[in-house]
Each structure stands twice: as structure tokens, then as C-alpha cells.
Amino acid sequence: MDTAEFRRRGKEMVDYVADYLDNVEQRPVYPDVEPGYLRSLIPAEAPLEPEKYDDIMTDVERVIMPGVTHWHSPYFYAYFAAASSYPAMLADMLSTAIGCIGFSWAASPACTELETVMLDWLGKMLNLPEDFIAGTEGQGGGVIQGTASEATLVSMLAARCKAVRRIQASNPEKSEADILSKLVAYTSEQAHSSVERASLIAGVMMKKVPADNNYGVEGAMLKRMLEQDKADGLIPFYFCATLGTTPSCAFDHTTELGPICNEEQMWMHIDAAYAGSAFICPEFRPLLNGVEFADSFNFNPHKWLLVNFDCSTMWVKKRESIIGAFKMEPLYLKHENQESGLITDYRHWQIPLGRRFRSLKMWFVFRMYGLQGLQDHIRKQVDLAKEFESLVRADSRFEICAKVVMGLVCFRLKGSNGLSELLLKRITKSREIHLVPCQLSTRFVLRFAICARSTESRHIQHAWKHITKLTSEMLEYRH
Amino acid sequence: MDTAEFRRRGKEMVDYVADYLDNVEQRPVYPDVEPGYLRSLIPAEAPLEPEKYDDIMTDVERVIMPGVTHWHSPYFYAYFAAASSYPAMLADMLSTAIGCIGFSWAASPACTELETVMLDWLGKMLNLPEDFIAGTEGQGGGVIQGTASEATLVSMLAARCKAVRRIQASNPEKSEADILSKLVAYTSEQAHSSVERASLIAGVMMKKVPADNNYGVEGAMLKRMLEQDKADGLIPFYFCATLGTTPSCAFDHTTELGPICNEEQMWMHIDAAYAGSAFICPEFRPLLNGVEFADSFNFNPHKWLLVNFDCSTMWVKKRESIIGAFKMEPLYLKHENQESGLITDYRHWQIPLGRRFRSLKMWFVFRMYGLQGLQDHIRKQVDLAKEFESLVRADSRFEICAKVVMGLVCFRLKGSNGLSELLLKRITKSREIHLVPCQLSTRFVLRFAICARSTESRHIQHAWKHITKLTSEMLEYRH
């Protein structure tokens, strides 16, 4: 394909994309395919000779689209939102064309520098403490990770390294293996599975802290566990707090937890993967209080801030603690300006070596929406969640299972878990709307998350009508 | 930005991208900016209100482009190639629009299933042993990782888990901490820095195996180290072989190393990040011999197979060993079809949870080029490297430092390292071409890698003319 053909096909693709997104609500949100459906629809081997482009696009509709779960349908209410906006898409096209691999400053200065400044922009929108802002002299700063899972892992590795060095400094006789076997990381029982997974990767013990009745961890509860573990000869070194848990968007009490972590010389990481975007609104910012005690903070603009995946933004107070954890300097990655202080080599901040020019997406989105446009988006989606909550509350067969703070509504049918499980099966099978469950205490709960940018009140109303219709059918059938 | 404006701006962006790539050789390949250049060119904070799109595009030329290292300039010869092709870009646009986060089968069946089949297609192109092909019944199969660093880490974690389980099965009294402190991973002293980094992350010991005169590791050398380490009470559990090292594109002797690893119950991972793409050509396929002994194999189509970053393809013989290493099953990620055998939940195969629909890029590229078109691309770039090698060999001031097998030429000025270091400084400063150095034994060596898809003979000839001109000026000046 030469440039002339790309010009033609690229413009066709722009229209295909625009048509897809404009009409996505006409497609069944959840696909009607059986596992293994795709293999039989295409050849078993790649072609020897080039095929026609039109045949590929025909196959997109024949092979791909029937198997897509449409995350940007206004009837998609599963998991959490995946961000999507036109400015981000345009920036992504540009990023792909530039196609630099920005592992070091020299590998593409603009890629590194725009990222540092965009993280400062976003940090200021969140009113993050000055310690987290890079500026020209700061010791902290931000980085784009691929996912919150990676941010958690990177923070845990940095904490592990720091703890081992600190303990060896005062106890030079202790081996690293001995120390590692006694390190304990903590997180809420409500935390995302990726936190426990990080501890498996890092090879350290992980303990789950019980949450309170609102599914948040209190300081006293952590404190009690720490005392016991220290008495048992263990070494607490890391706590991952969650602001906006995945099951119910609950909030750990970071203003209580932070001082405890600081006192115990534990690294506090805050994972606000979903909720973080809302902190750009003054009315939600108090939920971030306590971040001043944290060593690192992370959230996903690729969830709720209109910057398409992947863009998980992470800030640290001391970049040295994160860089020091696994710095490698082979000659083929060295460059002249490396030690100047102004330079950031982001490869030291992350698990992969290579990285795309992702900050372009942030730049385009922030400028095309402005802070106010982004706030409008958050507020609109929270209002839609409140609207859905009212509908649920007005129907006495249902109950709300957790406080609705942002764009997530947790609800269930009163009575046995089996009822709600059956209802969810019917919802999934109907393919008109899509949502997933969670477990809160022992209860099976349905999660209704406002996801697509195009979701409006009429979609919420339709979704609720659909749910109540299935409920009535189901309850009738059972009688 | 509404859909109508996206149609207009998207088409403009297609033209901008086409113009950029068509004319990239007119731009200085390496930017003339000082560290910190960008911050002063843009505001310190995000705007409150939306800005005009045209202003952003003006700023792309004013702020971004002056700081870009142009990886797709035909005068870019640094690191290794970063793949770029129009079919991959079109697929990327589609992938961004679909915007699904394919962590599980249910989260978008097409995303998962196309990936499994594309990895089979590519595995067959490489003539991988049947064990690595998923098919409908296979125990192995492939996955797209973001980078080779992640593939290495994932394989090491799987090996670590397998080793601990195996040893505890026969020695139930041994603690995990005790076992971990004795595990040893091995790799060549020429291996990429990310291999050692993986061992830091995994918290296991790593030993570097000396390479032979051609910079490859021989079986005997590994064997000797293993015997010594076992005698010292250590537990060898993992070897990462490299096919096509980063410094000089050297090849470990996997046909010797493989049987040793199998005998010692060590996991053998093969990292062919750069060279792997060439194995689709029958004349290069013998270099992959020995892969039949490997537990996992990885290379980067995003380097040399025209699939834009990120797309690092990894195959395992037993998917269970990789999934088992860090499987987590919270309710919100469960789905009905999970246990059917045909299902793959790729989140268990990788470090991040989220993942883009990256197999679309492979599908578009394989179909628009065909196997023959891809082979043509590899062969053309190898020929260009040979052409450059001839030029170097014809100038008695220079020497070739490693056998030229693929698209990389390692060369230097005869004499002290200082000479070549000075030459590289002049090359970098001139900004006409861009390359990076490496170290081979004690020698400072210049790496000339054929990178851009648009590189032709005339660019190679020009580059050499430029290098010899700088050399002559430099040598004259010194006399």
C-alpha cells in the first residue's frame, strides 16, 4: 500500500469509524457467538500473496464485528468506562505516524518532555501537592503507565527495594533473602485483584485488611494488623490504598491511613484508577485528601477522562526511589545529556522498555475540552448514575447496596443471591444491555456503571425498563 | 468535537500523516533541542475552556516536531527498526475506535480469538514446532505482549513458580523463601539489559554466561557454570537464550543449550526480539533451530515485521505453566464461558490487566503484504546492510566488528576507542544521520541498523559518504 492508497483508505477508515460510533447503539452490545466462533471463519494460514483491501473491510463486518463486545455502546454498563473521544483518536493517529519509541530522552525528546509537562498539567487540575509536580526543579513528577496494574507493581517494587536498603543499612548482617521473606504488603480486601497479583510477582507476602461497613479501610484496622505482625517479627513495608474500589467505588480512609504509613516507614500507594478523574471537580476533590501522605498516586485517564486506552497516570514524590529500583545502563541506551538533571529517561520508571508517544492524547484532549469540558463530562455521568439510583430506589423489589458517589450503582433484588444471579443471566442473554456482578460481603450484587460518552438519560430509562421487564417475567415464571 | 468535525479533522490528519511520512527525510533526523526545551513553549497549565483545533495542529509543528527523533526517516540507523506500515496504521485506527479492553474472552471475544489465530498464522510462517500452536486442541499457543521485556519477565515468573512447586513437591520441608534465595537464572553477557532487569523484578539471582568470539553462548560454557553452581547448593531454573543480540545481532547456540536446559529441568526462553522476523524466510529459519527445546519463544513484529508498536509476540508450549503463575479470579472478571477449554483469558498471560485489540494490526499487515511481501521486506533490508558492509570493508581505515547476518552492521575506526567515540560525536552533532554505539569486548563500536521501511540504496550511499567525510575532516584535524 503506497501513500496515495493510504490517503484514500485512511479517509474511508475515518468515515467507517465515525459511522461505527454514531450507530453503535444499533448493534447488540454483547455478542451472540460461541467460544471458538472466529477460527472457522478465516483461513488456517496467512496468504502467500497480498489480498485486496476491500476484502479485509468486508471481513471486518463478517468476522470481527459479530464477536465484539461494544464498550462504546450507550447500553454498555459493565466493568468501568473505557475512555473514548475524537481528539484522543486524532492524537493517536499522529502518535502512530511519528512512531518513536520513547524509552529515553534522546530517543525522542518531545515524547519525554510533553509527557512530563502533561503530567504536571493534570497534577495541577487535581490540585496534587507540590511534591508530585516535576516543574523544572522538583524531585517528584509523573509518568504514563500502561495500566493501573503496572503502576501498583512499580510502586511495590520501589517500596521493596527501599525497605531492603533501609533494613540492611541498620542490620548489615541480614541477607536480602531473609528480609524479603519477612516483608508484608497490605491492601483492602476490596482492592483490585491486580494488587495481590503484584505481590505474587514481587514475591512478597500480602495481607488483606478488612473493610468497614462502607467497604473502606479505616486506620484503626490497619494499625491493629501492623502491631500484630510486627510482634510476630514481620516487616510491614507497603500499603496500597484504594479510592474508588472496583466492586462498589468505596473509599479507604487515607487521611487516617497516611500518617500511620508515614510513621511506620511504609510506602503508601494510592490507586484511584476509576475515581481519580473525578477529582478534577472541586466537589469531589475532598475525597483525595490524604494524598499528601502518599509516596505514589495513580489513576486512569483512559477510564473516565476521555483519553483512550492506554493512559494510566502515576505520580511519585521522589523519582529517585522509583528509578533506583531497577536501573540498567547498557551503552546502546546511553546518550550525551543523560546526567543533566533536566532529563528524564522514562524507561527507568516502568516495566517495559519501549513506549509510545501517549502524552499527545492528553494534550489534544485537554486542549479540545478544556478543564470545564472535562468537568462537564464527569458531572453528566454522575448525574446519570443518580438518575438510575432513583429508579432503583422507587422499585421496592430492589435495594441499593452501596452509596452512589460517582458513576457506579450497585443494586440487587431483595432476597436470596440466586434471584439476582438469575436476573443477571437473563440480562446477559438478552444482549440489550451489558453489566457484570460483584460480591459485597456475602451478597451477589449487580454493578451498573455509566460507561459510554454517548450515554444519555433515554438510555438509562430504557435500561431500567428492560431490567424491570425481565424481573417481572422472571418473578412471574417462578410463581 | 462532534462526529461531523471528526470526519473533517480525521481526513486532514490522514493527509498530515501521509505528508509527514512522505517528506520525513527532509527533516533533521535528530533534533536540535536542549533538555527542557518544550516546557517554555507551552502554558504551565491546561486551558479552562476549549481551544481551537487549528491552534493545536500549528503547535504540532511549532512544539512537537522540532523535538522529535524521526525513527522513520531513511537516515535513522539507531537502535533497531521500529515497524511502520500503512495497513497497520489503518488497523490501529479501527482498534482505537472499537476501543474494547480485551482482558477476558467475554470482554470482547473477537479480540481474544483473532489474537490466538494470528499467533497461529505467524507461528506457522516461522515453522514453529506444533507444540507452540494453539489450534483447537493444543496445550500451547501465543499471546501479544507489549514488549520483549514483558515476555522475558512473564517467562521468568512462570519458571520461578514452576521451580518452587517442583522443589516443594519433593522437599515439602523447604520454605518458599529458602528456595527463592537459591534459584539462579542465566543469560548471555550479551543479552539485553531487560533480562537482568527481569531478575531484579522477580527477586532472583542472575548470572551472566560468557559468550564465544562471535558473541554467542555455547553449551559447554553454560554447562560448566551449572555444575559449579549446583555444587555450591544453588538451583539453576531458567536460561534466556538470545537469537540476534542487541549489540551485534549474535546468536546463542540453542541446539546445544536446549538439551542441557531440558535435562536440568530449567525453563528455556528464547528472546529473538529483532531477528525473529527474519525467520519467516527459509534461508534464515535454520538460525531458529533449537526452538524445539524451548518452553517459550518471543520476538517483536513491531521491530521488523511492519506491525507498528506495540506487538511483541510470545509463544509457550504449555499455557498452563504461564497462566498458573499468577491467576486471580475476582467475581467481576468471571464470565459464563470461562471453563470451556476453548476460552483464553489473556489477562492471565501478561502483567497488565487491560489490553488493546492489537491482533487487528497483524491481520491487516499479513493480508495486505502476504508472506511473500513480508519476506521481500526482510530481504531488501538485509541486502542494504550487506551493501553498507561492503562500503565499510572497502575503506581500510575501518573494520567490521561482527559478522553481518541480518540488518545490522557493527563497525569502527581501526585504532583506539577514542577515535570512534569522537566520530560518533560528530555524526550525532551533524544530525544528518543517527546511530548509536555498543560495546563488544573492550571495543567501542558503531551500530548501523537498517531501520525505516523507506530506506533505499541511495540513503545508504549518502550515509556512508557523510561518515567518511566526517572521518576525513576529523583525522585531518588531528594531524
Q: Do A67 and B201 make contact, defined as CB atoms within 8 angstroms?
A: no
Question: Which of A69, A200, A412 best tests the B interface by mutation, with the highest count of B CBs <10 A?
Answer: A69
pLDDT tens, position by position, B15-73: 999 999 999 999 999 999 999 999 999 999 999 999 999 999 999 999 999 999 999 99
Q: Are B265 and B290 in contact (CB under 8 A)?
A: no
Contacts with B378 (C-beta within 8 Å, 6 or more apart), sequence order: B277, B278, B280, B281, B284, B304
List phi, psi (to 5°) of B4. -60, -45
Residue A35 lies in a domain: no
In angstroms, the CA B424 to CA B429 distance is: 8
pLDDT at A177: 87
What are the Cα distances from residue A247, in Å, to A243, A298, A305? 12, 18, 20
pLDDT tens-digit readout, A168-183: 999 999 988 889 999 9
- For residue A322, the model assigns a pLDDT of 87
> Given CB atoms, is B11 within the 8 Å cutoff of chain A?
yes
Can you tell me whether residue B439 is helix, strand or coil? strand
Q: What is the pTM of this model?
A: 0.96
Residue matched to cell numbers 432503583: A392
User: Among A56-60, A104-108, B91-95, B294-298, which stretch is predicted with the lowest mean pLDDT?
Assistant: A104-108
User: Does B415 lie at the interface with A, CB-CB under 8 angstroms?
Assistant: no
pLDDT given at position B77: 98
Q: Scanning every residue of chain A, which has its alpha carbon at the shortest distance from the alpha carbon of B49?
A: A370
Q: How far is the alpha carbon of B194 from chain A, nearest alpha carbon, in Å? A: 7
Q: B246: which 3 cell numbers?
A: 542487541
> What are the cell numbers at B1?
468535537
**Which residues of chain A have a CB within 8 Å of the CB of B53?**
368
B-chain residues within 8 Å CB-CB of A97?
A: 16-17, 20-21, 84, 89
**pLDDT the model gives residue B177:** 87
* Measured CA distances, A34 to A39, A243, B280, B338 (Å): 11, 37, 33, 12
Test A72 with B99 for CB contact under 8 angstroms.
yes
Helix (H/G/I), strand (E/B), else coil: B242: strand
Contact by Cβ (8 Å): B217, B241:
yes
pLDDT tens readout for residues B243-276: 999 999 999 999 999 999 999 999 999 999 999 9
Closest partner CB to A68 (pick from B100, B147, B363): B100
Flag whether pLDDT at B147 surpasses 70.
yes
Interval A254-259 mean pLDDT = 98
Q: Does A369 touch chain B (CB under 8 A)?
A: yes
> What confidence score (pLDDT) does residue A333 get?
64
Task: Measure CB to CB from residue A149 to each of B87, B89, B353 and give the nearest one.
Answer: B353
**What is the rounded radius of gyration, in angstroms, for the C-alpha atoms of chain B?**
24
C-alpha pair distances (Å), B254 with each of A307, B211, B240, B243 = 44, 13, 10, 8
Q: Indicate the range of A90-99, B56-65, B133-142 predicted with least confidence.
A: B133-142
Does A36 sit within 8 Å of B113, measured CB to CB? yes
From A16, which residue of chain B is nearest by alpha-carbon distance?
A: B94
Alpha-helical segments (H) within A324-416: 359-393
- Strand-pair partners of A206: A185
Distance between CA atoms of residues B159 and B322, nearest Å: 8
Candidates B331, B346, B356: best to mutate against A (most CBs of A within 10 A) is B331
* Residues in chain A closer than 8 A to B101 (CB atoms): 71, 79, 82, 309
Find residues 432-471 of chain B whose CB sits inside 8 Å of chain A. 436-439, 444, 447
Whether residue B215 lies within 8 A of chain A, CB to CB, comes out as no
Contact across the interface for A11 and B14, Cβ inside 8 Å? yes
Of A347, A374, A308, give the one whose Cα is nearest residue A94: A308
- Is residue B380 included in any domain, yes or no? no
- Select the residue of B21, B107, B352 nearest A149 (Cβ to Cβ): B352
- In contact, B114 and B329? CB cutoff 8 Å: no
d(CA B261, nearest CA chain A) in Å:
23
- B44 Cβ neighbours under 8 A, 6+ residues apart: A120, A124
Which residues of B fall within a CB distance of 8 Å from A35?
105, 109, 337, 340, 342-343
CA distance B38 to B377: 36
Cross-chain CB nearest to A181 (options B177, B369, B436): B177
Helix, strand, or coil (residue B392): helix
List, in sequence order, every beta strand (DSSP E) within A167-234.
183-188, 205-209
Backbone angles phi, psi at A375, to 5 degrees: -60, -40
- For residues B270 and B218, what is the distance between their CA atoms, to the nearest angstrom? 14
**Residue of chain B with shortest Cα separation from A341:** B35
Distance from CA of B342 to the nearest CA of A (A): 6
Contacts 24+ apart (CB under 8 A), B197-200: B197/A326, B197/A328, B197/B149, B198/B149, B198/B152, B198/B153, B198/B156, B199/B156, B200/A325, B200/A326
Residues A297 and A76 sit within 8 Å (Cβ to Cβ): no
pLDDT in tens, B74-108: 999 999 999 999 999 999 999 999 999 988 999 99
Among A416-420, B104-108, B402-406, the least confident range? B104-108
Percent of chain B with pLDDT over 90: 89
- In a mutational test of the A interface, the residue from B80, B89, B323 whose CB has the highest number of chain A CBs within 10 Å is B89
A354: left (phi over 0), alpha (psi -120 to 50) or beta: beta
Between A102 and A75, whose confidence is greater?
A: A75
Backbone angles phi, psi at B251, to 5 degrees: -125, 125
pLDDT at A329: 62
Do the chains contact at B14 and A6, CB–CB below 8 Å?
yes
Q: Which of A470, A441, A460, A43 is nearest to A215 (CA)?
A: A441
Quick one: closest CA in A to B83, which residue? A99
Q: Which of A92-96, A137-141, B109-113 has the lowest mean pLDDT?
A: A137-141
C-alpha cell at B434: 543517527
Instruction: Please check whether residue B48 touches A, CB under 8 A.
Output: yes
Report if residue A458 sits inside a domain.
no
Q: Of B55, B99, B308, which is closest to A309 when you measure between CB atoms?
A: B99
As a whole number of angstroms, the distance between CA B396 and CA B118 comes to 47
Q: How many residues does chain B have?
A: 479
B282 touches chain A (CB under 8 A): no
CB A70 within 8 A of CB A431: no
Check whether the bond before B310 is cis (ω within 30° of 0): yes
pLDDT at position B329 over 70? no
The radius of gyration of chain A from alpha carbons, rounded to an integer in Å, stands at 24
**B47 domain residue, yes or no:** no
Helices assigned H by DSSP within B83-175 = 86-98, 109-125, 148-170
Which residues in A lie closer than 8 A to residue B149 (C-beta atoms)? 351-354
* Nearest chain B CA: its distance from A241 CA (Å): 18
So what's the pLDDT on residue A170?
93
Does the CB of B331 have a partner CB in chain A at under 8 Å? yes
Q: What is the pLDDT of residues B378-403, one digit of tens each?
A: 999 999 999 999 999 999 999 999 99
Question: How many Cβ atoms from other residues are within 10 Å of residue A419's Cβ?
Answer: 18
Q: Which of B450, B286, B277, B287 is nearest to B374 (CA)?
A: B277
Are the beta carbons of B124 and A372 separated by less than 8 Å?
no
* Distance (Å, whole) CA B32 – CA B21: 20
**Nearest by CB: B38 against A2, A90, A113:** A113
Please report which helix (H) or strand (E) contains residue A166, including its range: helix A148-170
**How high is the pLDDT of residue B344?**
82
Amino acid at site A400: I
Residues of B in contact with A96 (CB under 8 A): 17, 88-89, 92, 308
Residue B191 and residue B245 in contact, taking contact as beta carbons nearer than 8 Å: yes
C-alpha cell at A36: 471458538
The CA-to-CA distance between both ends of chain B, in Å, stands at 63
The answer to whether the CB atoms of B86 and A6 lie below 8 A apart is yes
- What residue type is assigned to position B359 of the chain? S
Nearest to B144 by CA among B95, B204, B193: B95
Chain B nearest CA to A479, separation (Å): 26
Under 8 Å between Cβ of A313 and A122: yes
Distance of CA B214 to the CA centre of its chain: 22
Residue B82 DSSP label = -
Question: Is residue A258, in this structure, part of any structural domain at all?
Answer: yes
Closest-CA distance of chain B to residue A478, Å: 22
- ipTM of the predicted structure? 0.95
Is the minimum CB–CB distance between A310 and chain B shorter than 8 Å?
A: yes
Q: How far from each other are the two terminal CA atoms of chain A, in whole angstroms?
A: 63
Residue B124 is assigned to a structural domain of this protein? yes
Task: Say whether pLDDT at B338 is over 60.
Answer: no
Instruction: Look at residues A300, A315, A275 and name the one whose alpha carbon lies nearest to residue A129.
Output: A315
pLDDT digits (tens, 9 = 90+) for A291-340: 999 999 999 999 999 999 999 999 999 988 888 776 666 676 666 665 45
Q: Where are the beta strands (DSSP E) in A254-345?
A: 267-271, 296-299, 312-316
Q: What number of other Cβ atoms are within 10 A of residue A103's Cβ?
A: 23
Chain B residues in contact with A452 by the CB 8 A cut-off are none
Instruction: Please give, rounded to a whole number of angstroms, the shortest distance from the CA of B388 to a CA of chain A.
Output: 20
Among the listed residues A219, A215, A298, A299, the one whose alpha carbon sits nearest the alpha carbon of residue A255? A219
Assess contact for B105 and B337: CB atoms under 8 A. Answer: yes
- Nearest CB to B437 within list A67, A176, A332: A332
Q: What is the pLDDT of residue A342?
A: 66
- Res A454 pLDDT > 80: yes
Cis peptide leading into residue A310 (ω within 30°): yes
Any A CB within 8 A of B41 CB? no
Q: Which residue has the cell 527481569?
A: B198
Whether B280 maps to a domain, the answer reads yes
Task: Give the residue numbers spanning the domain of B203.
Answer: 100-356
Determine, for residues B14 and A10 on separate chains, whether the beta-carbon distance falls below 8 Å. Answer: yes
* pLDDT confidence tier of residue A341, bands split at 50, 70 and 90: low
CB A410 within 8 A of CB A447: yes
Q: What is the pLDDT of residues A353-396, one digit of tens each?
A: 899 999 999 999 999 999 999 999 999 999 999 999 999 999 99
Q: Kindly report the nearest CA distance between residue A50 and chain B, in angstroms.
A: 4
Cell 505528508 sits on residue = B19
User: Is the minimum CB–CB distance between B109 and chain A shorter than 8 Å?
Assistant: yes
Q: Which residues of A touch B160 (CB under 8 A)?
A: 203
* pLDDT confidence of residue B327: 62
CATH of the domain at B151: 3.40.640.10
Q: What is the pLDDT of residue A227?
A: 98
Number of folded domains that form chain B? 1
Q: What is the mean pLDDT of residues A73-92?
A: 97
- Do the Cβ atoms of A115 and A359 come closer than 8 Å? yes
Asked if residues A452 and A428 have their Cβ atoms less than 8 Å apart, the reply is no
- Decide: B297 and B315 in contact? Cβ < 8 Å: yes
Q: Which of A442, A406, A440, A444 shows the shortest CA–CA distance to A425?
A: A444
Say if A466 falls within a structural domain. Answer: no
Task: Enumerate residues 6+ apart whose C-beta is below 8 A from A23.
Answer: none
Give one DSSP letter per residue of A27-48, joined into a string. Answer: S-SS----TTTTGGGS-SS--S
* Residue pair B314/B115 in contact by the 8 Å Cβ criterion: no
Phi, psi of A76 (to 5 degrees): -95, 120
Tell me the pLDDT band of B340, cut-offs 50, 70 and 90.
low
Contacts of A125 in chain B (CB under 8 A): 45-46
Separation between Cα atoms, residue A463 and residue B140, nearest integer Å? 41
